[in-house]
């Protein structure tokens, strides 16, 4: 039987590119999102072998329905879960409405929590299963003008580390991807100090390829965190050896 993957936020950007990458590799893809038009376009590109559907990742019941829709075609197994859905608001913390910041936490953190919890039984019964959580290089050090988003990715980082240890006995690996800014609709119109300093150099296809690479057998012995792109790799390597005061200084210079 073909391997399977469930991808959230699959209607556009990184999620769509990831869905197409796994489909090209022969996986049965379950692509879910809240964007109906984007889902219709994805379904047309994927074909009838695959599953698409609406899912608000904050909705635990919706998760169960999405998993049932996909695993009904796979004998109840799930090889890969990709928690990609996320939202972002940039700007000064005090100037962004509180409701918008709360929604960032709900989607980016609660959505990943819901997905991991709902998918666990399917992953456990699948040999060599994987979870890939989309974190961010903003989880290296808290980012001004991205405070709530950065905090949400620190939460994803912690959850990933904990579950990778906790689920190792169930033959489930859990990985976090750490891209910097990616050229998708999420960063349209964004003009903050860090984008001016670092630019927007990654494409959705770059990240999709990194997601696919993260679930290859040779990756099972690798680290939990996978930086995507040269900039993120350099920043992560530097953070591993630099004292905290230096990390703060570097981030202050990049974001001011």
The Cα 157–Cα 151 span in angstroms is 10
Q: What is the pLDDT of residues 176-200, one digit of tens each?
A: 999 887 888 777 777 776 677 666 7
Torsion of CA 63, 60, 115, 147, to 10 degrees: 130
Q: Which of 27, 120, 122, 149 is catalytic?
A: 149
Tokens 């690798």, residue located: 222
* More confident: 63 or 236: 63
3-state secondary structure 121-163: HHHHCCCCEEEEEECCHHHCCCCCCCHHHHHHHHHHHHHHHHH
What's the whole-number mean pLDDT along residues 116-139? 95
Neighbours of 216 (CB within 10 A): 10
List, for residues 41-72, the tens digit of each pLDDT value.
999 999 999 999 999 999 999 999 999 999 99
What are φ and ψ of residue 204, in 5° steps? -60, -35
241 vs 237: CA distance, rounded Å: 7
What is the DSSP track for the chain? ---EEEEESTTSHHHHHHHHHHHHTTPEEEEEES-HHHHHHHHHHH-TTSEEEE--TT-HHHHHHHHHHHHTTTTT--SEEEE-------S-GGGS-HHHHHHHHIIIIIHHHHHHHHHHHHHHTSTTEEEEEE--GGGSS--TT-HHHHHHHHHHHHHHHHHHHHTGGGTEEEEEEEE--BSSGGGTT---HHHHHH---B-HHHHHHHHHHHTSGGGGGS-SEEEESHHHHHHHHHHHHS-HHHHHHHHHHHT-
Residue tagged 């990831």 (tokens): 18
**pLDDT level of residue 238 (50, 70, 90 thresholds):** low
Q: Is the pLDDT of residue 250 over 80?
A: no
Give first-to-last CA distance, the chain, whole Å: 52
Task: Give me the architecture of the 4-254 domain, per CATH.
Answer: 3-Layer(aba) Sandwich (3.40)
Beta-strand relationship, 129-134 and 80-83: parallel
Give domain limits for the chain: 4-254
- Confidence category of residue 229, pLDDT binned at 50, 70, 90: confident
Task: Give the separation between CA 193 and CA 16, rounded to whole angstroms.
Answer: 28
27 given a catalytic annotation: no
CA distance 79 to 92: 40
């Amino acid at each position: 039987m073909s391997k399977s993957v469930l991808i959230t936020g699959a209607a556009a950007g990184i999620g769509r590119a990831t869905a197409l990458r796994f489909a090209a590799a022969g996986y049965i893809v379950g692509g879910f999102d809240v964007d109906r038009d984007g889902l219709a376009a994805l379904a047309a590109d994927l074909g009838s072998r695959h599953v698409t559907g609406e899912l608000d990742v904050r909705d635990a019941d919706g998760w169960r329905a999405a998993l049932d829709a996909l695993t009904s075609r796979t004998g109840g197994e799930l090889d890969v879960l990709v928690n990609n859905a996320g939202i972002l608001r940039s700007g000064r913390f005090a100037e962004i409405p509180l409701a918008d910041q709360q929604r960032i936490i709900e989607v980016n953190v609660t959505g990943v929590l819901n997905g991991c919890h709902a998918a666990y039984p399917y992953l456990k019964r699948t040999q060599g299963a994987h979870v890939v959580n989309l974190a961010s290089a903003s989880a290296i050090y808290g980012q001004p003008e991205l405070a709530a988003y950065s905090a949400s990715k620190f939460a994803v980082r912690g959850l990933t580390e904990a579950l990778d240890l906790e689920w190792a006995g169930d033959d489930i690996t859990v990985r976090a991807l750490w891209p910097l800014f990616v050229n998708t609709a999420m960063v349209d119109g964004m003009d903050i100090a860090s984008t001016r300093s670092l630019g927007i150099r990654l494409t959705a296809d770059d990240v999709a390829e990194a997601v696919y690479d993260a679930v290859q057998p040779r990756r099972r012995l690798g680290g939990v965190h996978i930086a995507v792109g040269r900039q993120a790799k350099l920043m992560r390597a530097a953070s591993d050896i630099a004292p905290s005061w230096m990390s703060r200084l570097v981030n202050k210079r990049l974001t001011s």
